[in-house]
């Protein structure tokens, strides 16, 4: 069975400081993993994806994530937060045939001036 756990429901950082949003997954096969971002009253937008190629994945807006099989983790990081990064972030794992998607409960990122 597949599942995703986002370890923090809320994260607050100061502008210019690093961001770490944590995600652990459970999967019975080699997973595909995604991070999505949602700004208020908007749909979800893909930030980055891991599909069994390089374990360090770079995404849009300076975000990256590292797939660690031994830790079953896929944490999202950014070296320096910007005010525009304030949003909700979702970690997602998909089934082997990409027909089902398992969402984490989301992490709301607050960026303080």
Total number of residues shown for the chain: 113
Pick between residue 75 and residue 89 the one whose CB is nearest to other proteins.
Answer: 89
Q: How far is the CB of 95 from other proteins (least distance, A)?
A: 9
Is 101 near other proteins (CB under 8 A)? yes
The residues near 19 (Cβ < 8 Å, ≥ 6 apart) are 11, 13, 63, 76, 77, 78, 81, 85, 109
Site for other proteins in 19-78 (CB under 8 A): 32, 34, 36, 41-46, 49, 51
Q: How far is the CB of 84 from other proteins (least distance, A)?
A: 18
Which residue in the set 25, 35, 89, 90 belongs to the binding site for other proteins (CB under 8 A)?
A: 90
* Distance separating the N- and C-terminal Cα atoms of the chain: 41
Q: How far is the CB of 64 from other proteins (least distance, A)?
A: 17
CB 4, CB 101: distance < 8 Å: no
| SS3 state at 108 | strand
Pick between residue 9 and residue 12 the one whose CB is nearest to other proteins.
Answer: 9
């Amino acid at each position: 069975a597949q599942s995703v756990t986002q370890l923090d429901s809320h994260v607050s950082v100061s502008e210019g400081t690093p961001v770490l949003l944590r995600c652990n997954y459970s999967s019975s096969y080699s997973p595909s993993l995604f991070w999505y971002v949602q700004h208020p009253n908007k749909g979800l937008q893909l930030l980055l994806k891991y599909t069994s190629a390089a374990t360090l994945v770079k995404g849009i807006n300076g975000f990256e994530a590292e797939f660690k099989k031994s830790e079953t983790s896929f944490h999202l990081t950014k070296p320096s937060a910007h005010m525009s990064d304030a949003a909700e972030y979702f970690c997602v794992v998909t089934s082997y045939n990409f027909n089902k998607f398992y969402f984490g409960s989301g992490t709301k990122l607050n960026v303080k001036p």
